[in-house]
Amino acid sequence: MTEELMLAGCIRNNATAQEALYNRFSPRMLGVCYRFAKNREDAEDMLQEGFIKVFTQIHQYRNEGALEGWIRRIIVHTCINVLKKNKKFSDSVDIIHASSVHVNEEIIPSIMQAKQVVECIRTLPIGYRTVLNLYAIEGYSHKEIAGMLDIEESTSRSQYTRAKAMLEEILIRKKIIQKQKKKTTFFGAVSPG
C-alpha cells in the first residue's frame, strides 16, 4: 500500500490502512521508545500510546516533510510525557559530580548507533538518558529540551555533559571503547590518564 493510500485510509479510520501504517513504521519507532524506556515492556507501552496519538492526529499531517519524521516527533513527545508522569527530571540533577566530569567529544558521537551503546545509554539515570537521547540522537536544542522537560536550559546542558561522561565511563568499563591516555579537563589543561 502506498503512503498516500495509507494516509487517506487512516484519515477515514480504515483499520487496514492503520495496520499497514503501524506495520511500516512501528519497528523503527519501537527503537526510539526503547532508548527512552527502562525496559522493553515500557517501550512497547510508549509505542502503543504514541500510535494512538498518531491515529487520532493523522488529519493534522500536512505533507510538509516526511511522514516518518512527523510520526517520530509524536512518538518522542509521547515518550517524554510518559516519563514526565513518572519522574520529575529536575530531581535527577547530580550537582556533586559536576566538578569531576571529563568528556572526550570525539569518542561518543562516532559510536552512537551501535547496539551495545544503546544498551549502555539505557543504564544511565533517567534524566541523563532522556537529555542525551533528545539532544544527541533526536537533535533537539537545549532550549527545546528545557521546555519539553520543564527544566532550566542550564540543567539540560549539565545533564547532557554528565550523561556523556558517565556513558564514556560505562563504555570503557565494558571494554566497548578504550580509555584515552590523556584527559582534557574543564579548563582545557591536559592531565595524565
Question: pTM to 2 decimals?
Answer: 0.71
d(CA 148, CA 80): 7
Band of residue 191 on the pLDDT scale cut at 50, 70, 90:
very low
The H or E element that residue 190 is part of is strand 190-192
Rounded to whole angstroms, what are the CA distances from 111 to 11, 88, 146? 39, 29, 26
Domains of the chain: which residue ranges? 3-86, 89-182
| 162 CB neighbour count, 10 Å cutoff | 24
Tens digits of per-residue pLDDT, 51-108?
Answer: 999 999 999 998 888 999 999 999 999 999 998 887 645 444 443 333 334 444 444 4
Q: How far is CA 12 from the centre of its chain?
A: 32
Q: CB of 137 within 8 A of CB of 124?
A: no
Helices marked H in 12-94:
15-36, 40-57, 67-86
Architecture of domain 89-182: Orthogonal Bundle (1.10)
Band of residue 33 on the pLDDT scale cut at 50, 70, 90:
very high
Quickly tell me which residue has 480504515 as its cell: 14
Fold classification of 3-86 is Rna Polymerase Sigma Factor; Chain: A (1.10.1740)
Interacting residues of 102 by C-beta distance below 8 A, sequence separation 6+: 165, 168, 183, 184, 185
